[in-house]
Amino acid sequence: MSLHFFQRMSECIQLSFAVCRIGIYTCFRGLCCKGPPPPRPEYDLVCIGLTGSGKTSLLSRLCSESPENVVSTTGFSIKAVPFQNAILNVKELGGADNIRKYWSRYYQGSQGVIFVLDSASSEDDLETARNELHSALQHPQLCTLPFLILANHQDKPAARSVQEIKKYFELEPLARGKRWILKPCSLDDMEAFNFDVVTSFFSVNCFPAAHFEMK
């Protein structure tokens, strides 16, 4: 074989080693030299509902707080609910008679609405909840936002079904053309609650760039 052949062979081998070194360095840098992950985006939701509907307990459970320390909200409070790719800052408004008239003062800046109702409440309270939901759905600052409606206390014997609530609240004719979803829930059986449906609803209708998964 000629000297030229061996020179070409040597050059090819050296080139192969160089490519391998570059590949190994790139992999090592990708595995060991990653910078800190980008900060998670934060979004604002407003949570409303009558006193006793379970708003505070529900949010505390989502934040992994002890249920023993839960106290009904008398004014408003803000909780940061962590998801893998985002943080939802939920502004909870108290549901007492003397507070509900001030709800609209806290609507500005909201990107979505959580309405919690007690599916086992009295007829009078259920009618009041229906009126408040109708008012919220038509409010100028909320009417274009996605609504997550939670029928809470499904574990109680007197609880109405989702279909009964949908019919009683006249959701389909009233909310036609709006973005809303009605889901049953119970604080005693949160493991059965499908968070994927809820997070997908907000990610599609409220935050198109985000995809949420519970921690």
155 is in an annotated binding site: yes
- Residue-wise burial string across 107-135, b where 16 or more C-beta atoms lie within 10 A, e elsewhere: beebbbbbbbbbbbbeeebbebbbebbee
Residue 8 has a pLDDT of 55
73 is in an annotated binding site: yes
- pTM exceeds cut of 0.85: no
**152 carries a ligand binding annotation:** yes
pLDDT at site 192: 53
95 in a labelled binding site: yes
Q: What is the rounded distance in angstroms from the CA atom of residue 194 to the CA atom of residue 113?
A: 18
The whole-number pLDDT of residue 95 equals: 92
144 known ligand binder = no
Residue 51 assigned as binding residue: yes
In the three-class reduction of DSSP (H, G, I as helix; E, B as strand; rest coil), residue 120 is classed as coil
Backbone angles phi, psi at 8, to 5 degrees: -65, -40
Would the annotation count 128 as a binding residue? no
Distances, alpha carbon 73 to alpha carbons 59, 108, 174, 177, in Å? 11, 20, 29, 32
Write down the mean pLDDT value for the chain.
77
Q: Any binding-site annotation on 109?
A: no
DSSP, collapsed to helix, strand or coil, labels residue 70 as: coil
Q: Is 75 annotated as a binding residue?
A: no
Task: Please tell me whether 153 is known to bind a ligand.
Answer: yes
**Segment 44-62 mean pLDDT:** 89
pLDDT in tens, 83-115: 666 677 899 999 999 999 999 999 999 999 999
pLDDT over 90 percentage in the chain:
39
The pLDDT tens digits of the residues spanning 145-184 come to: 999 999 999 999 999 999 999 999 999 888 778 889 899 9
